[in-house]
Structure 1
């Protein structure tokens, strides 16, 4: 169940972050509401994950790393933002680091 909450935390944080861009400085109502609701859901879900006993370092690395990668991909694919080969390499390194933390703690 902890991983379900972690997925909810990641997806709601990504929704909130993308909505922050779309809110145009909080001048658009719907995206602005999605920012607030998304972050509330993200942090509530993150709190539930930690309460269920997953290690904070691993949880934060997965949450932040996957969130960064998804936001960068969404920005490039849907928001017309540029992405370079170096940035793609950086995303791959983030994912590799998250995997190393997750797999390294499973002994």
Structure 2
């Protein structure tokens, strides 16, 4: 279950970075990785839910990890800004997801 979610996160991050690299689909070579990446990511997210992970936990972890990874990798690859305020926002997102995860463990 967690492995399929990790796969969904990695593929979604790659698809999002490919979307950025496509420059608004002006660079046609990036269209296939974008479309295929999002399709595979959603399939893996669906599989994670089918395996029994609660949707709130799965979606929260998927989005939080995606936001954090894209922001950090885009900083490295595309030289996009990553300020301390943005980093604090990412930390708050991750903290919120952890709270959801911990609350779900008790049920």
With structure 1 as the length reference, what TM-score do the two structures score? 0.94
Rounded to whole Å, the distance in 2 between the matches of 1:89 and 1:12 is 25
Rounded to whole Å, the distance in 2 between the matches of 1:30 and 1:9 is 22
Structure 2 segments unaligned to the other structure (5+ residues): none
Structure 1 segments unaligned to the other structure (5+ residues): none
RMSD: 0.9
Residue in structure 2 matched with residue 85 of structure 1 by the alignment: 84
Rounded to whole Å, the distance in 1 between the matches of 2:38 and 2:74 is 18
Point out the more displaced range, 37-46 or 19-28.
Answer: 19-28
CA deviations 1:55-98 (Å, max 9, x no partner) are 00111000001000100111112210011111010011111111
SS of the equivalent of 1:105 reads helix
How far residue 35 of structure 1 moved from its aligned partner, in angstroms, is 0.3
CA deviations 1:7-62 (Å, max 9, x no partner) are 11101110000000001111223321110110010000000001111100111000
Rounded to whole Å, the distance in 2 between the matches of 1:83 and 1:7 is 24
